[in-house]
Structure 1
Amino acid sequence: MHFIDSDLINNIFTPRKGDEYKGDFGHTLILCGSKGMVGAGFFSSMGAVKSGSGLTTLGSYKETFDIFSVKLNEVMLIDLDEINILEILDKYSSIVFGCGFGINDKNEQLLKALLVNYKKPIIIDADGISILCKNNNLNILKTRHHPTILTPHYGEFSRMTDLDIEYIKSNRIEIGKEFSKNYNCILILKDHRTLIVEGDKFFINTTGNSVMANGGMGDILSGMIGSFISQKYSSLDAVLLSTFFHGSAGDFFSNSYHSVTPTELINILPKIIKKR
């Protein structure tokens, strides 16, 4: 067992040099947010921006494109109803898929196509996980030869495994290792002490607390993972950094706040990361 603490993070994290520019820090594609759930796209996108992605693009359908055009000044936008995203995948260093994106046939076909055709890391959260639970879509992961990162909470992981939540909680390391190896993925099982598993390697995070217990926090984490991958960290190192810094931002508020909003947490991220 490894604990994700300051010592581990100091061995992974590389401070920025003075002569680097946006092209050195990659391009993160966010496929998140839908009508009634635009906050998910906003939080995931800004999680990527605030944690250092050189460029960030949000892919949106027409029904939300104008809303995101107003909300996201720091993010580029593409209209998925006008652009075939599969034709421009090489532009992107990582993809974040699913936060509030909607569970429908169109998105199911898109996710399946991305898993087959995208040759770089993809992070799947929320509605993306629900899509994987449909029609045996999880089995696609077994034949994918590029990094896949899944970010379920216990309820989602219960649906993915058909196991009872309490049973998972009591056996999460063994179940997580078996799942990671079976589906060829990095598993982030979100909890008060989040578990991260890649094959036989597993890590327990030491940051985070209950002031973060509200909607939108997981969207930020997914965007951060995509961002650190875009910044040329390995998929596992990006997961470790994101989980630690995400929780550390929550710890920053824990002594003086009863609860913290996703927007407040996003805004403190650059300061938390810089302190390393």
Structure 2
Amino acid sequence: MIELEEGILSKVITTRPSLSHKGDYGRILLIGGSENYGGAIIMATEGAINAGAGLITVATHSVNLSALHSRDPEAMFIDWRDKNLAKSIQKMDVIVCGPGLGTSDFAKIVLKTLAANISSDQVVVLDANTLDLISQDLSLLPQAKLIFTPHQMEWQRLSQIKIPFQSDTANLVALKNLPNSTDKILVLKSNHTHIYDQSGKIYVNSTGNPGMATGGTGDTLAGIIGGFVAQFGYSMDTVAAAVYLHSLAADEIYRTNYIVRPTAISQKLPQLMKKYSNIK
């Protein structure tokens, strides 16, 4: 087990070359935000934007369009009932699915659309309600490079490992046994988040604070992970850097604030990324 330190940030975050454009920093699609949970997909979107993803599209319920564009005009929109959603999925480097998705029959249709249109060289970040739906039907699991971001109860439902009996060994076995992909990374969220990959490598996050115990923190993390992978590639180090940065930003806020709003975490990211891109 390796404890994450700030060196992971300077290892992953690179200085942007002068000759570059938005297409060089990844195309990402975020899917989620039912009628009652539009805030979740907006917070995930802000995480991806502030983490530096180049082109961002949000597939969500149409009721969320005004709020999305008011807060995040950088993001493009597609109605998740649009027949062109399948084509949008096919064009993306990274898909983040789950924040505010819900568990309705329509949510299952969205997951089936994702699974039917994904390819093995794309990356899918699976978060929140997506994990509950997949735990009920493993055929919904996309065949792609996968990143799971459950909290421990969601992981219990998906892995069938009870929380008192979860261990690093059991978590690695459960991750390897999930079907449909040979490339899988698990981000098991807790006060000290553990990150696992197929090779047996384990990172443990050393940053974080109780002020982060508020709704939307995990949605924001999913967006940051998606933004990092879109720019810096799919790897254990990239995911670990996203996790560490998310908590590091929160720790800076917590020094002078009793609670840490997820949207405040996102606002901190560009400044911190600039700092660590210059440290080599």
TM-score (norm 2): 0.89
1:125-148 deviation digits (Å, cap 9, x = unpaired): 0011111111xx23554x83x211
Residues 157, 70 of structure 1: alpha-carbon distance in 2 compared, 3 angstrom cutoff: same
Matching residue of 2:174: 179
Contact 2:12 2:238 in 1 (8 A): no
Query: Shift of residue 230 of structure 1?
Result: 1.2
Contact 1:121 1:235 in 2 (8 A): no
CA distance in 1, matches of 2:162, 2:30: 31
Matching residue of 1:242: 242
Query: Does structure 1 residue 159 correspond to structure 2 residue 161?
Result: no
Query: Does structure 1 residue 31 correspond to structure 2 residue 44?
Result: no
Residues 186, 116 of structure 1: alpha-carbon distance in 2 compared, 3 angstrom cutoff: farther
Which deviates the most, 67-76 or 251-260? 67-76
Residues 18, 192 of structure 1: alpha-carbon distance in 2 compared, 3 angstrom cutoff: same
Contact 2:30 2:45 in 1 (8 A): yes
Matching residue of 1:198: 197
SS at 1:83's partner residue?
coil
Letter paired with 1:263: T
Residues 69, 255 of structure 1: alpha-carbon distance in 2 compared, 3 angstrom cutoff: closer
Matching residue of 2:145: 147
Matching residue of 2:251: 251
Matching residue of 1:77: 77
Gaps of 5+ in 2: none
Query: Shift of residue 156 of structure 1?
Result: 0.9
Matching residue of 1:64: 64
Letter paired with 1:123: V
Matching residue of 2:123: 121
SS at 2:266's partner residue?
helix
Contact 1:28 1:227 in 2 (8 A): yes
SS at 1:88's partner residue?
helix
Alignment of 1:86-97 (within 5 A): 86-97=86-97
Matching residue of 2:111: 111
Matching residue of 2:132: 130
Letter paired with 1:205: N
TM-score (norm 1): 0.91
Gaps of 5+ in 1: none
Letter paired with 2:190: D
Counting aligned pairs with the same residue, the percent is 31
Letter paired with 1:177: L
Question: What is the alpha-carbon root mean square deviation over aligned residues?
Answer: 1.8
Letter paired with 2:249: A
CA distance in 1, matches of 2:185, 2:233: 14
Alignment: residue pair count: 269
Letter paired with 1:257: N
Contact 2:151 2:188 in 1 (8 A): yes
SS at 2:125's partner residue?
strand
CA distance in 1, matches of 2:173, 2:150: 15
SS at 2:114's partner residue?
helix
